[in-house]
Amino acid sequence: KNQVEQSPQSLIILEGKNCTLQCNYTVSPFSNLRWYKQDTGRGPVSLTIMTFSENTKSNGRYTATLDADTKQSSLHITASQLSDSASYICVVSTADYGGSQGNLIFGKGTKLSVKP
């Protein structure tokens, strides 16, 4: 069964500190992995996307890594700010083969709270 598991479920850190969020997936056939940031009550916004051959992708203070062998990804946030408080969602796409349109499998997200 295609699944995406994220950890931790929630995290509290102090402003200025770094943190790392984890995403493990059992999705086949794999197409790509995307991290979204979702502020409370709002729609998700894409942070990074990585294909099978990419190990690292950065977007400002956000750096995502992908290990396709172990089927793990992480999102590292450096020098956290109060505005980083949000849910971070890992999404894995299955490949589009032979007429099948593929699918999107979402993790349940990690809720990050950055405190002053």
Residues near another protein (CB under 8 A) are: 31-32, 34, 41-46, 49, 89, 91, 93, 96, 101-109
Find out whether 8 and 108 touch, Cβ atoms under 8 Å: no
Counting Cα atoms < 13 Å in the Cβ hemisphere of 94 gives 18
**Measured from the CB atom, is 65 or 94 closer to another protein?**
94
**Measured from the CB atom, is 24 or 78 closer to another protein?**
24
Counting Cα atoms < 13 Å in the Cβ hemisphere of 47 gives 29
Give the shortest CB-3-to-another protein separation in angstroms. 12
Return the sign of the alpha-carbon dihedral for residues 71, 20, 113, 41: negative
Give the shortest CB-30-to-another protein separation in angstroms. 11
**Measured from the CB atom, is 18 or 113 closer to another protein?**
113
